[in-house]
Amino acid sequence: GAVVSQHPSRVICKSGTSVKIECRSLDFQATTMFWYRQFPKQSLMLMATSNEGSKATYEQGVEKDKFLINHASLTLSTLTVTSAHPEDSSFYICSAGREAEQFFGPGTRLTVL
Amino acid sequence: DQQVKQNSPSLSVQEGRISILNCDYTNSMFDYFLWYKKYPAEGPTFLISISSIKDKNEDGRFTVFLNKSAKHLSLHIVPSQPGDSAVYFCAASARKDNDMRFGAGTRLTVKP
Chain B: give the shortest CA distance to residue A65, in Å.
Answer: 21
CB contact under 8 A, A104 and B42: no
Question: What's the length of chain A?
Answer: 113
Contacts of B100 in chain A (CB under 8 A): 38, 42, 91, 93, 107
What pLDDT tens digit does each residue of chain B (112 aa) get?
678 999 998 999 999 999 999 999 999 999 999 999 988 767 788 899 999 999 999 999 999 999 999 999 999 999 999 999 999 999 998 876 578 888 888 999 999 9
CB contact under 8 A, B40 and A43: no
CB contact under 8 A, B96 and A2: no
Residue A50 near residue A35 (C-beta atoms within 8 A)? yes
Span B77-90, pLDDT tens digits: 999 999 999 999 99
CB contact under 8 A, B96 and A42: yes
Q: Nearest CB to A100: which of B2, B40, B96?
A: B40
What do you get for the CA distance between the two ends of chain A, in Å?
37
Contacts of A2 in chain B (CB under 8 A): 104
Distance CA A33, CA A49 (A): 6
Contacts of B89 in chain A (CB under 8 A): 104
The residue of chain B with its CA nearest to that of A10 is B99
Residue B35 near residue B48 (C-beta atoms within 8 A)? yes
> Is A7 a residue whose pLDDT tops 70?
yes
DSSP A32-67: EEEEEEEEGGGEEEEEEEEETTSPPEEPTT--TTTE
The residue of chain B with its CA nearest to that of A33 is B41
> Is A39 a residue whose pLDDT tops 80?
no
Residue A93 near residue A44 (C-beta atoms within 8 A)? yes
Q: Taking CB atoms and an 8 Å cut-off, how many pairs form between chains A and B? A: 53
The residue of chain B with its CA nearest to that of A4 is B104
